[in-house]
Structure 1
Amino acid sequence: MRVDIEGLSVEIAGARLVDDIALRAGSGQLVGLVGPNGSGKSTLLRCVYRALRPAAGTVRLDGADLHAMSAREGARRLAALPQEAASEFGFTVAEVVAMGRLPHQRAAGRVTGADREACAAALARVGADHLADRGFPSLSGGEKQRVLIARALAQEPRVLVLDEPTNHLDIAQQLEVLALVRESRLTVLTALHDLNLAAVHCDLLYVIARGRIVASGAPYDVLTPELLAEVFGVRAHRVPHPETGAVQLLFDLLPAPPARPASPALPALRKDGPCA
């Protein structure tokens, strides 16, 4: 399913946080949003999964206006994993994953055989079926992310929106989560802090700064030293990944600008002589 964002702007308390965003994610693509803290990534994604309504613009799924759909219809097409999703549910893993089936149930809580099969398949797909009877709060950070991805997969969407899915995970867990996302074969729109993870796993990148898209394209074309200096304020050295060839980045601080020399003092004007 294709995602098209057209002319999207968000205003909160009179401040424009996102300004005239245009973005496209093709069917089955993994598209990353990168940018400094406060650049507007999460605000944009909140519009995509309908936690916010934009002041202007549209979000379309295969041409259909997402915000014109009913909540149930939208949830059958799009699932989201917000940053704050890993809260302490007082449920078992199986119960958390079953929440993903609500858009497909005619009556809340009426679980069918198809629901149970979808939940079991989702847990097996993320390698978490052995956790089904565990309490969600007892899981590690990586296990929680696996379960929340399973909940999204049980929803059977065609689009997956992830806001910093690797936050607070160790490096092995980060790689596992992004591999799961890639293997889902869904259209994925995700915000990522780690530019090297974004470079390896994303088909396309959109760079956001001060609420606007400032660059877009394949990671190799987008993640240039010039752009990274301008947007992130760092000096970047590009190296190829030894196995995949994907661009990888080494960072250090930009050198401080040279100090400006002090202006020479002007000579004092004499007041006691005749004017020349």
Structure 2
Amino acid sequence: MQLEITGLSVEVAGKRLVHDITLAAGSGRLVGLVGPNGSGKSTLLRCVYRALRPAAGDVRLDGTDLHAMDAREGARLLAALPQEAGTEFDFTVAEVVAMGRLPHQRGSGRASAADTEVCARSLDRVGAGHLSGRGFLSLSGGEKQRVLIARALAQEPRVLVLDEPTNHLDIAQQLEVLALVRDSRLTVLTALHDLNLAAVHCDELYVIADGRIAAAGPPHDVLTPALLADVFGVRAHRVRHPETGAVQLLFDRLAARTEPAEAPAPTAP
């Protein structure tokens, strides 16, 4: 399913945070949003999963305006994992993941055997099947994140929107989750903090700075030293991953402090 964002602008409390953004995520593609903190990535994603209504522009799924769909129809097509996702009540992990089936249920909303099977399979896909009977609030941050990803997968969407999905995960879990997202063959739009993870796993990147698109394209074309200096304020050194060939980055401060030159020895009178 194609996700298209056209001319999208967002205003909050009279201040424009996102300015006329247009981007697309093709069917089955993993598209990343990267940029400094406060650049507008999360605000843009909140419009995509309908937590915010844009001041201008629209979000379309295969040409249909997402904001014109009823909530149940939209939730059957698009699932989201916001940064602040969670629950204040101590549901079991199985109950949290089962919430992903609600858009597919009618009448009493009771879970069917098929719903239970989908939920169990989703937990297994993120390596969290053994947590099924645990209380959600008793989990570590990384365990909670995996369970919430399982809930999104249990929704069986065609588009997945993720805001920093690797938060609280150790490096092995980060790699596993992003590989799982790639292998899902869903259309994925995700904000990522780690530029090296974005370079390896994303098909295309959009760099957001001050609420605008600063660059877009394949990671190798986008993550240039000049752009990284301008947008992130760092000096970047590009290297190739020895197995995948993907661009990887080493960073220095842009204005690294230099040691003062040694004072000349005094001369004899």
TM score, norm. by length of structure 1: 0.90
Structure with max Cα Rg: 1
Q: What is the CA-CA distance between 1:236 and the residue it aligns to?
A: 0.3
Q: Contact 2:10–2:16 (CA<8 Å) still a contact in 1?
A: yes
CA distance, structure 1, for counterparts of residue 120 and residue 148 of structure 2:
14
Q: Secondary structure at the match of 1:91?
A: coil
1:144 aligned residue: 144
Query: Quick one: which amino acid aligns to residue 194 of structure 2?
Result: D
TM-score w.r.t. length of structure 2: 0.92
Say which is worse superposed, 80-89 or 142-151, in terms of deviation: 80-89
Corresponding position of 2:180: 180
Match of 1:249 in 2: 249
- Per-residue displacement from partner, 1:123-154 (whole Å, max 9, x unpaired)? 22222222111111222222222211111111
Deviation sequence 1:139-190 (CA, Å, 0-9, x none): 2222222211111111110000000111232212211221221121111100
Give 1:130's aligned residue. Answer: 130
What is aligned with 2:213?
213
CA–CA separation in structure 1 for the residues paired with 2:143 and 2:254: 38
Shift of 1:89: 4.0
Of residues 145-154 and 222-231 in structure 1, the stretch that sits farther from structure 2 once superposed is 145-154
Query: Over aligned residue pairs, what C-alpha RMSD do you find?
Result: 1.5
Preserved CA contact (<8 Å) 2:200 2:246? yes
Identical positions, percent: 83
Unpaired stretches in structure 2, ≥5 consecutive residues: 259-269
Aligned residues: 258
Deviation sequence 1:33-63 (CA, Å, 0-9, x none): 0001110000000000000000000100011
SS at match of 2:6: strand
* Cα displacement (A) at 1:86: 3.6
Question: Does the 8 Å CA contact 1:145/1:177 hold for their aligned counterparts?
Answer: no
Q: Is structure 2 residue 7 aligned with structure 1 residue 35? A: no
Q: How far apart are 1:107 and its partner, in Å?
A: 2.8
Q: Secondary structure at the match of 2:169?
A: coil
The 1:177/1:86 distance shift into structure 2, 3 A limit, reads farther
Q: In structure 2, give the amino acid aligned to 1:160.
A: L
Q: Any conservation in 2 of the 1:123–1:150 contact (CA below 8 Å)?
A: yes
In structure 2, the residue corresponding to 1:83 is in which secondary structure?
coil
Deviations 1:192-239 (A, max 9, x none): 111000000100000000000010000000000000000001100000
Alpha carbons 1:10, 1:17 under 8 Å: kept: yes
Q: In structure 1, what is the equivalent of residue 224 of structure 2? A: 224
Compare 22-31 and 249-258 and name the one that shifted more: 249-258
User: Counterpart of 1:73 in structure 2: which amino acid?
Assistant: E
From the superposition, tell whether residues 213 and 98 of structure 1 become closer, same or farther in structure 2 (CA, over 3 Å). same
Whether contact under 8 Å (1:2, 1:26) holds in the other structure is yes
Distance in 2 (alpha carbons) for counterparts of 1:202 and 1:36: 18
The residue type paired with residue 210 of structure 1 is D
Other-structure match for 2:48 = 48
